[in-house]
Amino acid sequence: MWQFKANSPISSDAILELIRGWKWFENVPAEAHDWLAQQSRIRSVPKGHHLYRSGDPATHIYGVISGVFRIYLATPDGDEVTGEEVVHGSWFPHMILSDSPEYYGNCVCQRDAVIVQISVPAIVEFGERWPGYFRGLYQELVARGPATLGRIMLLSLYNIDVRLAVYLLRMARLRGVQEAGATVLISGEVSQSEIGARVGATRQRVNMLLNDWAARGLIEISGIGTRILDTQRLTAEATKFGFDVEQYLAAWHGGWQGTK
């Protein structure tokens, strides 16, 4: 029997689609997908809630039906370094199933979300029944390599203009909404301090550059988010010193995260 919250609008087909669409589960048969879906529970998560913090005992893995989550590390000085944003269709976190697994990094909900959660004991049993699961985990972990290397190169070798342009293009690919007239809206309330933490710059420098691009007609900043008005010119900013932005974005969105 399917296990849902009362009056849940989420169908069994939606959960199966979420499972079948992720690399972790592509090397197991259909009966394994059905079994895993039966272990699933639906959960609503409000914006601002921490799903887990670094070092907490790992109790579940999660699949995103709606909403956005940010996974980040906290430095000893109190700064936050974002590792990734997780959106619809994705599963997280990648963990080692030891006797006492722990979460690595902090996970906070950035937009009201609905998720599927599966307990760690159920995942352990799943792997014992269908070892192809571990092959999927390995393949996804290897697929992260180009994206991780590209991020290191981006932060260490390129200036803030390139890093910020790449960030906006990645957010557009990750959760942007195509509008009439070829503009793309990246909705959401992300502070300039937070953007600075993600691209390795001060809030003041981010503010100056965003205002400059707005004045030049590349973007538009409003209370509902950032609108990219000219994707070609913003891409030119991202590639003007030789950074291969298409290869970088493909590593994120055509590789381990799937096509967004």
| Two structure tokens written together for 240 | 């003007």
Superfamily designation of domain 12-143 = Jelly Rolls (2.60.120.10)
- pLDDT at residue 169, as a whole number: 92
- Report d(CA 9, CA 89) in Å as an integer: 17
**Upstream peptide bond of 93 is cis (omega within 30 degrees of 0):** yes
- pLDDT at residue 65, as a whole number: 93
User: What are phi and psi for residue 106, nearest 5 degrees?
Assistant: -105, 145
Architecture of the domain spanning 149-256: Orthogonal Bundle (1.10)
Task: Decide if 133 contacts 126 (C-beta within 8 A).
Answer: yes
User: What are phi and psi for residue 64, nearest 5 degrees?
Assistant: -95, 120
- pLDDT at residue 256, as a whole number: 42
- pLDDT, tens digit, for every residue of 202-259? 889 999 999 999 999 999 988 888 999 999 999 999 998 999 888 888 777 555 444 4
Among the listed residues 120, 106, 119, the one whose alpha carbon sits nearest the alpha carbon of residue 51 = 106
Q: Give the pLDDT of the chain (260 residues) as one tens digit per residue.
A: 333 343 345 678 889 999 999 989 999 999 999 999 999 999 999 999 999 999 999 999 999 999 889 888 877 776 677 777 888 888 999 887 788 899 999 999 988 999 999 999 999 999 999 999 999 988 888 877 777 778 778 878 899 999 999 999 988 887 788 888 789 998 776 778 878 877 888 889 999 999 999 999 999 988 888 999 999 999 999 998 999 888 888 777 555 444 43
- pLDDT at residue 79, as a whole number: 67
- pLDDT at residue 95, as a whole number: 81
- pLDDT at residue 9, as a whole number: 54
Burial (CB count <10 Å: 0-12, 13-18, 19+), residue 238: buried
CATH 2.60.120.10 range(s) for the chain read 12-143
